[in-house]
């Protein structure tokens, strides 16, 4: 695999990520280093970067550059955003940088910043219609998306560090400071007529503030999944968090579960900015994207020459990504998917499920064995663990919980994902059981991994009969699938027979 490093010098944080990848096929984040450099610290109305922040930034970039060289990274993409873009004394920064390192840093325009953020988020969430935004330290980028393409772009100097320095001069914040902060935030988006929560338009947010708000909300709700990517954050939840941040002083804020120390000062300004943005567009909720600018820069490289470099089907891609990284047995997984779906289709009169469940079943079939990469024994449990901890693109939390349950249930035992009940719907327990039962039968019809079973024909009973057509000897497959059909009996409350179909020859 090749390695690419993306370096992003922001107003607040400077970050390095390293992706290992095979172009267009699969990728994995293998390193991340994050520095709270606060390059924009102390930048006043004269827009001068201060010597100490410059020194910190140069140190961090110099280390990142060494890092890339010593870990044999093949490509380095380094960009700077608003802090450096808007500095009146850019020359000073460049001089300091050049004295320390030969890193090839490029300042990107606000347009580019919005575009790459859009790329990251659109791929991460499978967003085709809607609005993405990125609230950083120095500015907020907003991009409208139609049919998977960016149609409008807007950048405004409403950043959490900038607004905090300018408006938050009291602790807890005074009424006057708060009034000015809110007015400035409202002002920032007031001209955006295209920012509208029309039908089918989702709002997707990225950046540290959004992730922090999500984490605080999850802690407050005792949310059972430890992941902010793809989390739905409501306008009401943000309001509740703002209210807390307004009333508390710094020491009290640091006690808020989910709020990291280095975010304790700047999160109120961030929340107020995001509230203003949502109110301007009339959005009642947003989806958190775990990916943004840096990942967007990665996708531009990874998916080139696609224009825009957008995954056609992020869900299927991320499942295949996971499968490929785990060296899956392709023919076997495809056959298990094929047999599962054939059973699914023929049993529609019994379960009544549609395209959504069918897709989940197909996706689960492709990754049902990935746990083997951890260890063969209990690989269904390892698979569940991996799905819980993997990057899934375009899946909601509910969907990813169901996927992990299906993978877990493809052999042995049964779980209906009870610990995650708060994320599921009450009927999902049955749904998981019914889909798992089909996956398990398909898996055992492929136990020899030799694609000996050609097709299955279902006779709706009672009892239900699955007639197995095989290209060779499939006695053991049929016998074993029959032996594992208890889950089916329970899930469908019907007797089941699995039989070899008379050979057509």
Of 214, 207, 57, 228, the C-alpha closest to 141 is 207
Q: Which is nearer to its own copies, 58 or 83 (CB)?
A: 58
Residue 381: CB minimum distance to its own copies, A: 9
Supply 363's token pair.
């996706």
Q: Which is nearer to its own copies, 66 or 196 (CB)?
A: 66
Q: Which is nearer to its own copies, 172 or 448 (CB)?
A: 448
Residue 275: CB minimum distance to its own copies, A: 28
3-state secondary structure of 402: helix
How many angstroms separate the first and last alpha carbons of the chain? 47
Q: Which is nearer to its own copies, 197 or 372 (CB)?
A: 372
Q: What does R_g of the chain's alpha carbons equal in angstroms?
A: 26
What DSSP letter does each residue of 121-170 carry, written as one string? HHHHHT--SEEEEEE-SS-EEEEEEETTEEEEEEEES--HHHHHHHH--S
Cα separation, 186 vs 182, in Å, equals 6
Q: Which is nearer to its own copies, 63 or 197 (CB)?
A: 63
Residue 430: CB minimum distance to its own copies, A: 28
Residue 257: CB minimum distance to its own copies, A: 15
Residue 383: CB minimum distance to its own copies, A: 11
> Are residues 53 and 14 in contact, defined by beta-carbon separation less than 8 angstroms?
no
What DSSP letter does each residue of 67-136 carry, written as one string? HHHHTT-SEEEEEE-HHHHT-TTHHHHHHHHHHH----EEEPPHHHHHHHHHHHHHHHHT--SEEEEEE-
Of 366, 359, 362, 363, the C-alpha closest to 328 is 366
Binding site for its own copies (CB under 8 A): 28-33, 35, 59-60, 62-63, 66-67, 69-71, 100, 329, 331-332, 372-378, 382, 385-386, 389-391, 447-452, 472-473, 475-476
Residue 389: CB minimum distance to its own copies, A: 5
Of 441, 443, 403, the C-alpha closest to 420 is 403
Residue 59: CB minimum distance to its own copies, A: 6
Q: Which is nearer to its own copies, 382 or 440 (CB)?
A: 382
Residues recorded for the chain: 505
> Are residues 145 and 129 in contact, defined by beta-carbon separation less than 8 angstroms?
yes
Residue 290: CB minimum distance to its own copies, A: 9
Q: Which is nearer to its own copies, 47 or 327 (CB)?
A: 327
The Cβ of residue 356 has, within 10 Å, a number of other Cβ atoms equal to 11
Q: Which is nearer to its own copies, 7 or 458 (CB)?
A: 7
Residue 376: CB minimum distance to its own copies, A: 4
Q: Which is nearer to its own copies, 332 or 410 (CB)?
A: 332
> Are residues 118 and 150 in contact, defined by beta-carbon separation less than 8 angstroms?
yes
């Amino acid at each position: 695999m090749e390695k690419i490093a993306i370096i992003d010098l922001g107003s607040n944080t400077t970050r390095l990520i390293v992706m290992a990848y095979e172009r267009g096929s699969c990728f994995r984040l293998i390193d991340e280093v994050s520095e709270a450099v606060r390059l924009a610290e102390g930048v006043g109305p004269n827009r001068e970067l201060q010597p100490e922040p410059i020194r910190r930034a140069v140190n961090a970039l110099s280390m990142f550059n060494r890092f890339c060289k010593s870990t044999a990274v093949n490509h380095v993409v380094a960009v700077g955003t608003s802090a450096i873009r808007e500095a009146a004394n850019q020359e000073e920064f460049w001089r300091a940088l050049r004295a320390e390192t030969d890193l090839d840093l490029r300042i990107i325009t606000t347009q580019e910043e919005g575009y790459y953020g859009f790329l990251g988020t659109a791929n991460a969430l499978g967003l085709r219609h809607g609005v993405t935004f990125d609230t950083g330290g120095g500015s907020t980028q907003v991009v409208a998306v139609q049919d998977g393409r960016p149609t409008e772009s807007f950048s405004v100097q409403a950043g959490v560090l900038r607004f905090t320095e300018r408006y938050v001069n009291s602790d807890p914040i005074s009424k006057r400071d708060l009034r000015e902060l809110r007015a400035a935030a409202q002002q920032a988006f007031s001209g955006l007529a295209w920012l509208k929560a029309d039908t089918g338009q989702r709002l997707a947010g990225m950046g540290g503030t959004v992730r922090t708000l999500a984490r605080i909300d999850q802690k407050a709700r005792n949310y059972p999944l430890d992941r902010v990517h793809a989390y739905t954050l409501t306008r009401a939840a943000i309001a509740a968090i703002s209210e807390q941040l307004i009333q508390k002083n710094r020491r009290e804020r640091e006690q808020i579960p989910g709020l990291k120390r280095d975010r304790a000062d700047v999160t109120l300004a961030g929340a107020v900015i995001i509230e203003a943005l949502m109110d301007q567009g009339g959005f009642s909720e947003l989806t958190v994207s775990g990916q943004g600018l840096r990942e967007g820069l990665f996708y531009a490289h990874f998916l080139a020459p696609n224009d825009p470099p957008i995954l056609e089907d992020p869900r299927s891609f991320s499942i295949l990504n996971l499968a490929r990284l785990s060296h899956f047995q392709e023919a076997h997984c495809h056959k298990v998917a094929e047999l599962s779906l054939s059973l699914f289709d023929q049993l529609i009169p019994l379960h009544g499920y549609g395209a959504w469940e069918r897709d989940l079943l197909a996706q689960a079939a492709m990754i049902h064995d990935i746990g083997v990469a951890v260890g063969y024994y209990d690989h269904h449990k390892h698979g569940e663990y991996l799905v819980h901890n993997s990057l899934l693109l375009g899946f909601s939390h509910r969907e990813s919980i169901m996927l992990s349950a299906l993978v877990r249930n493809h052999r042995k035992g049964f779980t209906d994902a009870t610990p995650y009940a708060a994320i599921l719907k009450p009927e999902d327990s049955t749904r998981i059981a019914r889909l798992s039962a089909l996956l398990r039968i398909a898996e055992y019809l492929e136990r020899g991994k030799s694609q000996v079973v050609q097709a299955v024909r279902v006779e709706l009973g009672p009892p239900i009969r699955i007639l197995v057509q095989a290209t060779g000897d499939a006695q053991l497959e049929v016998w074993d699938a029959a032996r594992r059909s208890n889950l089916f009996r329970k899930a469908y409350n019907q007797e089941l027979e699995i039989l070899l179909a008379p050979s057509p020859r």
